[in-house]
A = this chain, B = another copy of it.
């Protein structure tokens, strides 16, 4: 059974009443809850815990890490970012959620700015499944409607994904590559756009199903670590 560590900045839900109403125990608890319902072993970690809750011990038992951050990206210690990056390259899965596109860890793994357009007007969003045969789309309808969302629009400055599973349509006229799969080192990364601190998007069953699928897809399979460096001559000589 995969152990998921649900990481959350956990600031806005303490400061902002509207956010607290939607996610009274924080976004992390909402996500951990439905993952537990799907049968995963889920724990949480937040920015204000020592080492942001991401000690070696925690990461040792983490198969998949999910990441939600928004206003405090710069407060995440570089040392912890590097520790997480090493784990991903060694095989740990990483799910980057919504405004996590601007987290240090995502930018570090992508190598690009990860910038985009945005607008907060409570617009309708429709996510279209462009790759219905992908495991992350299992059981997902042709399109998911999010009644009110913050718009994210292209150009999304990321490397072209290894697989593009969802593309979003927004009422105001934009599109966005909303479900992007990457492999980096031995690890798998899924960026998933929907989610916000005041819209109840993580309470939508289809969104929860996508995330549960993504956890399963991203889980560390314990692959054989390659050997690097000086390679001895093969015994039979050259």
Contacts and interface: CB of A to CB of B under 8 A. Distances in A.
A212 B76 CA distance: 42
A138 B228 CA distance: 19
A132 B226 contact: yes
Main secondary structure of the interface of A (DSSP, over half): loop
Interface stretch (A12-20, A26-34, A50-58, A181-189): A181-189
Contacts of A228: 113, 115-117, 155, 157
B109 A130 contact: no
B154 A167 contact: yes
Given A112-B89, A154-B167, A183-B159, A173 B133 contact: no
9 contacts: A89-B157, A112-B185, A113-B228, A117-B227, A129-B224, A132-B226, A157-B228, A167-B167, A167-B175
Interface of A: 85, 89, 91, 108-113, 115-119, 121, 123, 126, 128-135, 137-142, 151, 153-157, 159-160, 162-164, 167-175, 177, 182-188, 221-234, 238
> Which 6 pairs show the lowest CB-CB distances between chains A and B?
A133-B186, A155-B226, A117-B231, A115-B228, A109-B111, A111-B111
